[in-house]
Amino acid sequence: MSTKSASPLEADAGGVATHAHHAMTTFLVVAAPAMFAVPDSMTDGFLDKAFGLLVAVNVSAHSWIGLNYVATDYVPKVSKKLLPPARLACAGVALVTLGGLSKIALNNKGGIKGTVKGLWNPRPKETEE
């Protein structure tokens, strides 16, 4: 039995991480389509921002744990010494993702839902007078 404690960067270590990863997957599979199915008039304001932040946290944590699984599986094949820096990079990507999605979730132009819908809906043409 090892006396070495796990690093906080080891997001994929243990059963708790696996359970959390599966719970976040289930949340995202159920909640994201539901968010887009609800009419904008019902989700504008606080509900949209709160749900957007919840999605931002879930996507970021889900990607952090998932990237750690990938790093654990493939980085040691190149070099075992590269695993700690790879884990740090995974955490950095997750933090940048959280920052970007949080900023989008809190903007006043529809949050995450409005941004995703804007990818398919062209901007209205401005009329010149």
What pLDDT is stored for residue 20 in this prediction? 87
| Average pLDDT of the chain, as a whole number | 86
- The percent of residues above 90 in pLDDT, for the chain, comes to 46
- Between CA 67 and CA 91 the distance in angstroms is 9
pLDDT tops 60 at residue 26: yes
pLDDT tops 70 at residue 129: no
112 CB contacts (<8 Å, ≥6 apart)?
35, 52, 55, 56, 101, 104, 105
The tens digit of pLDDT for each residue in 80-101 reads 999 999 999 999 999 999 999 9
The tens digit of pLDDT for each residue in 42-70 reads 777 888 888 889 999 999 999 999 999 99
What pLDDT is stored for residue 79 in this prediction? 94
pLDDT bin (cut points 50, 70, 90) of residue 14 is confident
Q: Return the higher-pLDDT residue of 9 and 57.
A: 57
